[in-house]
């Protein structure tokens, strides 16, 4: 039986490996459409406009907010980040499962608007490994790393808002764990409304002996 598409939110501390995990998840499985966010932060070396993000000016971002073009947006460590509405709605309508890799404030807004969204939080095996990955990536200054670690400490207070945590220790294991959780989530009654509705209608007919 074909699944109905679900909206999947993936959050986690900066440097935990979200970008790396998402890349592998969509490479290994055809089931997912990965949303590309808009941001006002500068591209890191190796990032391309339209691939990791749509890199836009603050003015252009504020115009998108005014036009209602974003499903959600948030300010994170001094920059705007937001999810374009068109992509999400188009792919959900096609029955695809859409992944948003976004931070906590955005995740909470999505939960309000899409109550059946599945919220996953990626954790490091321990805080030292997080610091090691964030510095090892070599793309941020010491000041930005400090801001991001402080933000991680704040975000850690709200992890209970999420449906599942996944630990990114071994990358491949974590990708498969995420996929398993998502596959299982497809089978919860709130995400099978159409199927349940149809069976109920069929039962009504059969129970009355009308067939």
Position among 60, 171, 184, 199 found at the interface with ligand ADP (CB under 6 A): 171
Which of residues 172 and 202 has its CB atom nearest to ligand ADP in the complex? 172
Residue in the structure block whose two tokens are 């919860």: 188
Q: Is 17 in the site for ligand ADP (CB under 6 A)?
A: yes
Position among 11, 72, 168, 178 found at the interface with ligand ADP (CB under 6 A): 168
Q: Are the beta carbons of 115 and 5 closer than 8 angstroms? A: no
Within positions 4 to 43, which residues make up the interface with ligand 5GP, using CB under 6 A?
A: 14, 18, 37, 41
Residue 38 makes CB contacts below 8 A (sequence gap 6+) with: 53, 54, 56, 61, 64, 70, 80, 81, 82, 84
Q: What angle do CA 79, 8, 67 make, to 5 degrees?
A: 45
Q: Is 114 in the site for ligand 5GP (CB under 6 A)?
A: no
When CB distances are held under 5 to 8 angstroms depending on the partner's kind, the choice from ligand 5GP, ligand ADP, none that residue 81 binds is ligand 5GP
Q: Which residues bind ligand ADP (CB under 6 A)?
A: 12, 14-20, 133, 136-137, 168, 171
């Amino acid at each position: 039986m074909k699944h109905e598409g679900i909206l999947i939110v993936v959050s986690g501390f900066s440097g935990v490996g979200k970008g790396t995990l998402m890349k592998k998840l969509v490479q290994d499985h055809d089931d997912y459409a990965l949303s590309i966010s808009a941001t006002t932060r500068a591209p890191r070396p190796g990032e391309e406009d339209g691939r990791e993000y749509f890199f836009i000016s603050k003015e252009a971002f504020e115009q998108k907010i005014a036009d209602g073009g974003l499903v959600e947006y948030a300010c994170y460590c001094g920059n705007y980040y937001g999810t374009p509405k068109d992509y999400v709605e188009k792919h959900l309508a096609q029955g695809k499962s859409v992944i948003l890799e976004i931070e906590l404030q955005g995740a909470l807004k999505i939960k309000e608007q899409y109550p059946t969204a599945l919220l996953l939080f990626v954790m490091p095996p321990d805080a030292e490994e997080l610091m090691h990955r964030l510095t090892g990536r070599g793309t941020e200054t010491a000041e930005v790393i400090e801001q991001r670690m402080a933000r991680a400490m704040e975000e850690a207070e709200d992890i209970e808002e999420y449906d599942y945590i996944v630990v990114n220790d071994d990358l491949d294991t974590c990708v498969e764990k995420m996929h398993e959780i998502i596959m299982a989530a497809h089978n919860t009654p709130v995400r099978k409304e159409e199927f349940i509705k149809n069976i109920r209608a069929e039962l009504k007919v059969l129970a009355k002996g009308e067939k």
